[in-house]
Amino acid sequence: LGVPGVPELKPLTRYDAMRLGPGWSHSCHAMLYAPNPGMLFGRIPLRYAVLMQMRFDGLLGFPGGFVDRRYWSLEDEGPHRVVAHFYARQLTLEELHTIEISAVHSRDHGMEVMGMVRVPLYTQKDRMGGLPNFLANSFVGTAKFQLLFALKILNMVPEEKLAEAVAATLRPKKGAIDHGGGAAG
Amino acid sequence: LGVPGVPELKPLTRYDAMRLGPGWSHSCHAMLYAPNPGMLFGRIPLRYAVLMQMRFDGLLGFPGGFVDRRYWSLEDEGPHRVVAHFYARQLTLEELHTIEISAVHSRDHGMEVMGMVRVPLYTQKDRMGGLPNFLANSFVGTAKFQLLFALKILNMVPEEKLAEAVAATLRPKKGAIDHGGGAAG
């Protein structure tokens, strides 16, 4: 990615990935996204709606999974040699919204998937609100790098904004309480 | 809370909160929760479904907001002297699910709210999956403390599991890639 602090993914062709042999497990995940003409607060372009999900394990990831789970369970640590196939699929905003609606009605809702979320692609004027804060959440496996890779390759976030957002998450976190205040009521 | 590393909230009665005067802003947030008899992987009790939301700013929080936003906008830094009123409301699982469905159909969906998520209350056998990972996400304002406070006060998570989950998030994060692997496809 050429973003400080973020290791490069090692890209493989599909052809090479399929020739790796039986010692490798194959995961497939998809980034579903849709151009979004909306403006936040009437001023901040949303650009795209990008879907991720909060998983059962408390981590953010893309929808998908392992191709062959016969020999181990999601509960276990999983295989150590993983080829992460990653697909990006553009939809219309209406199609993406239909998927969000289906997801909340699905059998897995509240079990393996705790909810779908859209990724904020903008950065607010405080320089943390939006993508920088979002990247400071906890992600499974290669999901964060796949997200950054896709946002860069598909030119969904200006490159300097992407670099700034990544750099912001490398700084130590602010304390979680930034106001004096108590709990009442 | 008596959990190492977590500052105590300063509780106020509603009466005292209402007497603080004009220099204070009042925020109100609600934790909606429902007993959930489901088992993850047929084995891990889900205990309760607890709703939080991914906000426009990339942070997790509870539904709610400021009572008086006449003089400033969500885009701004906000007031510095905040009394955070916090309510917890028990629903049936069906009622909670209805709210999740309404949320994805609401006008704010994909704008101020990027999605609702349920909070995993269990801890998987790797000691990170579930609540510990979830607590390592990024939260707005006092939301993380309100969550922990409610889980403790309402006895929704065994106290030692809660302390272990908080302690786990105080350890430095593992690298985000724990498998060797590349991106293909």
**Side-chain half-sphere CA neighbours of B34 within 13 A:** 17
Q: Does A146 lie at the interface with B, CB-CB under 8 angstroms?
A: yes
Whether B137 sits inside 8 A of A60 (CB atoms) is: yes
Total count of residues recorded for chain B: 185
Q: What is the pLDDT of residue B179?
A: 36
Q: Give the amino acid at A62.
A: F
Q: What is the 3-class SS of B137-162, one letter each residue?
A: CCECCCHHHHHHHHHHHCCCCCHHHH
Count Cβ atoms below 10 Å from residue A9 Cβ, excluding itself: 19
Q: Which ipTM did the prediction report?
A: 0.85
β pairing state of A82-90 and A25-35: parallel
- Render pLDDT for A62-109 as a digit per residue (tens, 0 to 9): 999 887 655 555 555 555 677 889 999 999 999 999 999 999 999 989
Whether B129 sits inside 8 A of A58 (CB atoms) is: yes
- Render pLDDT for B101-150 as a digit per residue (tens, 0 to 9): 999 999 989 999 999 999 999 999 999 999 999 999 999 988 999 999 99
Q: What is the pLDDT of residue A10?
A: 75
How far CA B184 is from CA of A13, A80, A113, B107, B123, in Å, comes to 5, 17, 24, 38, 32
Q: What is the pLDDT of residue B170?
A: 80
Contact A85, A26 (CB under 8 A): yes
| DSSP codes of every residue in A69-85 | -TTS-TTS---SBEEEE
Question: Cβ neighbours of residue B6 under 8 Å, at least 6 residues apart?
Answer: B145, B148, B166
Q: Distance of alpha carbon B28 from its chain centroid, rounded? A: 14
Q: What is the DSSP letter of B132?
A: H
- Top pLDDT among B172 and A138 is at A138
Q: What is the DSSP letter of B175?
A: P
Q: What is the pLDDT of residue A170?
A: 80
Q: Which residue of A has its CA nearest to B30?
A: A185
Decide if pLDDT at B154 tops 70: yes
Q: Does B177 lie at the interface with A, CB-CB under 8 angstroms?
A: yes
CA-closest candidate to residue B67, choices A184, A176, A157: A184
Q: How far apart are CA B65 and CA B85, in angstroms?
A: 10
Whether A100 sits inside 8 A of B115 (CB atoms) is: yes
Total count of residues recorded for chain A: 185
Q: What is the pLDDT of residue B143?
A: 94
CA-closest candidate to residue B4, choices B172, B166, B169: B166
The predicted model scores a pTM of: 0.86
CB within 8 Å of chain B, chain A residues 125-144: 125-126, 128-139, 141-142, 144
Q: How far apart are CA A167 and CA A164, in angstroms?
A: 5
How far CA A2 is from CA of A6, A153, B179, in Å, comes to 8, 12, 21
Tokens at A6, concatenated: 């973020």
β pairing state of A48-55 and A25-35: antiparallel
How far CA A62 is from CA of A116, A126, A161, B59, B150, in Å, comes to 9, 28, 22, 18, 30
- Render pLDDT for A135-161 as a digit per residue (tens, 0 to 9): 999 999 889 999 999 999 999 999 999
- Render pLDDT for B45-97 as a digit per residue (tens, 0 to 9): 999 999 999 999 999 999 998 876 555 555 555 556 778 899 999 999 999 99
Count Cβ atoms below 10 Å from residue A86 Cβ, excluding itself: 24
Q: What is the pLDDT of residue B22?
A: 76
Residue position matching structure tokens 């795209």? A48
Count Cβ atoms below 10 Å from residue B154 Cβ, excluding itself: 14
Q: How far apart are CA B163 and CA A179, in angstroms?
A: 24
The burial class, CB within 10 Å (0-12 / 13-18 / 19+), for A63 is: middle
Q: Across the A/B interface, how many CB contacts are shorter than 8 Å?
A: 252
